[in-house]
Chains A and B, each alone.
Chain A
Amino acid sequence: MIPELGHFALILALLLSGLQAVFGIAGASLARERWMATVQPAVAGQFVMLAAAMGTLIAAFVTHDFSVKYVAENSNTALPLFYRIAALWGAHEGSLLLWIFILSVWTVAVALASGGLPRPFVARVLGVLGFVSFGFLLFTLATSNPFARLVPAAPDGRDLNPLLQDFALALHPPLLYTGYVGFAIAFAFACAAMLEGRVDQSWARWARPWTASAWAFLTIGISLGSWWAYYELGWGGFWFWDPVENASFMPWLVGAALLHSLAVTDKRGLFKSWTLLLAILAFSLSLLGTFLVRSGVLVSVHSFAADPARGIFILGFLITVIGGALALYAWRAPALGSQAGFELGARESFLLFNNILLVIAAAVVFGGTMAPLVSDALGLGTLSVGPPYFEPTFLLPMLPLLALLAVGIHANWKRGRLGASRRRWLGAGVLALVLAIAVSFGFYGSPGWLTLTGFALGIWILLSSLVEPINRLRRGLMLPRAVLGMTVAHAGLAVFVIGVTAVQSYSQERDVGLKPGEAVTLDRYEFRFGGVQPVEGPNYDGVRGQVTVTRDGHALVELTPEKRRYWVQRQVMTEASIDAGVRRDLFAALGEDLGANTWSIRVQVRPLIRFVWLGAYLMALGGFLAATDRRYRTARARVAEDTRAGAPTQTEVAASQA
């Protein structure tokens, strides 16, 4: 009975989202106050219904209700409580529900924070969000109902995919979706502005904090996934360019471009149509990513077609939402002119290049990700495009982007006098090069050109990003959150670049077969294998190896890599053991039993790999800081005052006419 209540709540949510879409968009166009007044209650009601549906499904997981098909497929009586809850988003149906629920949370946040914005505008924004929600709910109910029953009920469940039984990966989807869905807000703002036909600077200002926080969430989501891949998959890298990763990376790149473009539109009223396009693009890529990954189109075209209804629905939805928005864009954008000009060396130019290069980078990723699909559509068979394509190609837009950033931070709005700030950026550049040479020779050994470039660019950006805040503080000026956020995010990017450079250039790894007592030496570290012992967990058993690491004869750490066999899905998982450090990670993973008491063991030394994730978290922190700048709140208050101040004037006019 309880799962049926959840199902019913979903149906009610669908109806409410329909109301929200129709009354929001039509009410604003026809200027019907009463229609618009129903939008906010619909938002609230939809949230309550979705929360109820989520609660129902969680309850089914917690109480082991294996009469619900989705629970039976993704849970098991031996599964610990935390993973039973996380199992909700362990497969297609539940992920969709989570996606919709997060969209509802964002929508409520927008409704609550939009008190000061013009009423028709808010109605349109909420209407567009309602439309997106309606599409997803219809998809869920029509093709992917998480509450479908299994008759007769299963005695026990098939268990959650062991790959997903991990803390970081349990948190990865909610954060990733929060980022994805957050771009819906910028999308809705853009659509509302275009529907209104009045695309001025204000919409960009309103969209900025939402975009910044969505982007920050996405950053955290992606880096959690990368971190998980590092220690769980046992391959030892942090990024594999696989289609699932790429699907989240493309909106991130375009989102970063959008953030910068919004800044230009907000401050200077330029790039209006371009910013609109990016807002549409960021969310379109999020949609495409969610659907392609969830339906498995990119991994294997077969699963896309496995349920033709799903594939056709997905396509129809993409056409409606993305096609509709782009048509709106083609209609409205030509009327948007920008009068203000700027000089070549001005900040606007740098941000323009930033945008172009980020979009090229996204296109590079898009091309590589879609190539298998293209090849399949043309009947050329399935193929994988991997790091041999992505790594060199991705650097082409990225290296100039980083160099332009290091210089561009010093540029002023409107006026292009790079000469004036030359001492700063050139000085920082020379210092960075010297430091890069010192670091690579001092700590690691003769670097290649790319290594040196990577270090130099990273250090250059780090130094450059610190110049402005230090100057402000020295002059006793306040450091607004927006500037602080920008600084932290750019410093994070620098840390990330330095980390990636070190990992790519100086990582060492060996795969060896070892008997207990034998050792392998890597760099200055000696890994001595001490044999294996059996272990048992709540829903698996396996063996735990013992690897003692010493450096120059001093014992450093004991690594205990595991190999687990999960009972229900009969899947063998490698659990790498890692000694994390600021300067380097020591990594050991247990491979196969080669017989004769010998085990294959993979050992790695990865310098500065923590910088990769530290950099990502700093970027996210920067996004959050910028999103909470006071300026956005005062801006909202000012708009409210304007509207209030404006209203009496009109009445006065009317009164005087009468």
Chain B
Amino acid sequence: MNRFLLPLGLFALLVVLLAVGLRRAPEKGVIESPLIGKPAPQFTLPDLFDGTRRVQSGDFAGRWHLFNVWGTWCAECRAEHETLLAIQKGGVVPVVGLNWKDDDAQALAWLAQLGNPYAAVAADRDGRVAVDWGVYGAPESFLIAPDGRVVRKQVGALTREIWERDFLPLVTRAAPGG
């Protein structure tokens, strides 16, 4: 094999990638997380709003909630923020935030500026908890059932459409009236 063909081969790969991206763009994919159907990982982290207090995985046990991984360095998260605010306004499930590898001051400024959709925000400054959750990019969101199991995962920004189509039915179907 001619080593001078290598750049051309790599470029061909890139082209395939771009072509697939072009074709797939309209449909948004969902990754099946190995966590689906399993209990959500446990954590105890400082509260973003008050460093002396803690946010724990048990705080929302017994209720449906949405676990959302975000950071101020993440452009997609800014796009997603509107949706999160709408979910909070909808009042069906509380949103628990995991502020991932972020600066507390910047995160607080972000929430002050854009509005706060979160019932609680855990500050995961070194990113350990995110590793437990298998997070490899922000934003990611997990829907957690009252029994503490992960029911649904979204990699990338949630949109209102995705929320209403893929997430909300799971909650309303499982728990009529609640």
Contacts and interface: CB of A to CB of B under 8 A. Distances in A.
Contacts of A387: 73
Contact of B25 (A305, A322, A326, A334): A305
Contact of B155 (A330, A380, A386): A380
B93 to A, nearest CB: 20
Contacts of A374: 17
A510 B75 CA distance: 22
10 contacts: A301-B21, A315-B15, A319-B15, A327-B8, A374-B17, A376-B156, A379-B30, A381-B157, A387-B73, A600-B112
Contacts of A241: 73
B25 A382 contact: no
B19 interface: yes
A381 B29 contact: yes
B137 A318 contact: no
B8 A384 contact: no
A511 interface: yes
A386 B78 CA distance: 13
Interface in A299-321: 299-302, 304-305, 308, 311-312, 315, 318-319
Interface string A346-385: 0000000000000000000000001111111111111111
Contacts of A511: 105-106, 108-109, 112
Nearest to A327: B8
B61 interface: no
Contacts of B105: 509-511
A280 B8 CA distance: 11
A373 B156 CA distance: 12
Most buried by B among A312, A373, A382, A387: A382
B138 interface: yes
B28 to A, nearest CB: 6
A299 B75 contact: yes
A301 B27 CA distance: 11
A305 B155 CA distance: 20
A297 interface: yes
A277 B17 contact: no
Contact of B137 (A297, A371, A592): A371
Interface of A: 235, 240-243, 273, 277, 280-281, 284, 297, 299-302, 304-305, 308, 311-312, 315, 318-319, 322-323, 326-327, 329-330, 333-334, 370-388, 509-511, 591-592, 594, 600, 602
Nearest to A331: B4
A377 B7 contact: no
A598 to B, nearest CB: 11
Interface string B1-19: 0101101100110010111
B24 to A, nearest CB: 6
Main secondary structure of the interface of A (DSSP, over half): helix
A333 B155 CA distance: 43
Contacts of B22: 304-305, 308, 311-312, 315
Contact of A602 (B2, B21, B75, B109): B109
A378 B156 CA distance: 13
A592 B29 contact: no
Nearest to A385: B137
Given A315-B22, A381-B30, A511-B106, 12 more contacts: A243-B75, A280-B7, A284-B11, A297-B18, A301-B25, A305-B25, A371-B137, A373-B17, A386-B74, A386-B138, A511-B109, A600-B112
Nearest to A324: B8
Contacts of B94: none
A85 B93 CA distance: 50
Contacts of A323: 8, 11-12, 15
Contacts of A240: 73
Contact of A383 (B11, B109, B127, B155): B155
Contacts of A385: 137
Contacts of A373: 17-18, 21
Given A329-B7, A388-B101, A379 B24 contact: yes
B17 to A, nearest CB: 5
Contacts of B74: 384, 386
A511 B4 CA distance: 54
Given A380-B31, A511-B109, A329 B8 contact: yes
A39 to B, nearest CB: 28
Contacts of B112: 511, 591-592, 594, 600
B21 A384 contact: no
A327 B17 CA distance: 19
B19 A277 contact: no
Contacts of A602: 109
A511 B109 CA distance: 7
B19 A315 contact: yes
Contacts of A333: 4
A377 B20 contact: yes
Nearest to B104: A511
Nearest to B21: A377
